[in-house]
Amino acid sequence: MPTSLELAGRLREAFGDLLPAPVEFRGEVTLTLVDAERIADVCSFAKRELGFDMLTDLTGMDETPNDPRWAVVYELFGTAHTAHLRLKVRVSEEKSEVPTVSGVWRTADWHEREAYDMLGIRFAGHPDLRRILMWDGYPYFPLRKDFPLAGKPTELPETAFTRAAPLEGGPFVTVAGGKDSILREPRARTEA
């Protein structure tokens, strides 16, 4: 069975300078694609030629203050060889767009919609790029680092909060510090 590092090497052979050397950290292999416009080609090759038949996750990240600001991370898995590979592309704030991979893996559809909804990253060629968690017309992107932790007030009574969400947490928020881990557990705090 080929290892993740060997499969990353084969992907690099096929795409040359578009993929710098893989980074291995704690047994996980990451390749960062230089040209985001080629992500669909790279993913198609990874699926067709290298057996990465599952897209287990796709997520966007706000890497402020870095430039480019956005990163899109693709977690690939091959059921036949059980290898895992992470692909990453960086996207500038001005462009905020990367080609869709929903034609390679159908599961990318909802993952891309979530990255769009939460961060505002657009996926060119996506068959139905619309919000998936927030309501239509919501003007903000909640996972951006410049979005306030307390949230933003809204003028839609009975649809969403009419004031900023409190930061007090709830029964599932742990308490920092404490003498031991048992006391930090939410259930210990709510039972006391």
In percent, how much of the chain has pLDDT > 70? 79
pLDDT at 181: 67
pLDDT at 174: 56
pLDDT tens for each residue of 93-125: 888 899 999 999 999 999 999 999 999 999 999
Residue 89's contacts (CB-CB under 8 Å, 6 or more residues apart) are 32, 33, 36, 39, 71, 72, 98
Q: Could you tell me which CATH class the domain 4-136 is placed in?
A: alpha beta
| 117 and 62 Cβ atoms separated by less than 8 Å | no
Tell me the one-letter amino acid at 104: V
| 46 and 18 Cβ atoms separated by less than 8 Å | no
| 45 and 22 Cβ atoms separated by less than 8 Å | no
The Cα 175–Cα 192 span in angstroms is: 13
Query: For 163-168, what is the mean pLDDT?
Result: 53
User: 88: which strand partners?
Assistant: 32, 73
Query: For 159-183, what is the mean pLDDT?
Result: 57
pLDDT at 188: 43
The Cα 96–Cα 74 span in angstroms is: 16
Q: Sketch the domain layout of the chain as residue ranges.
A: 4-136
Tell me the one-letter amino acid at 58: L
pLDDT at 173: 55
DSSP E strands, the chain:
23-25, 28-33, 54-62, 70-77, 84-91, 97-99, 122-124
Name which residue leads in pLDDT, 29 or 171: 29
pLDDT tens for each residue of 138-160: 888 989 988 877 777 766 666 55
pTM over 0.95: no
pLDDT at 96: 86
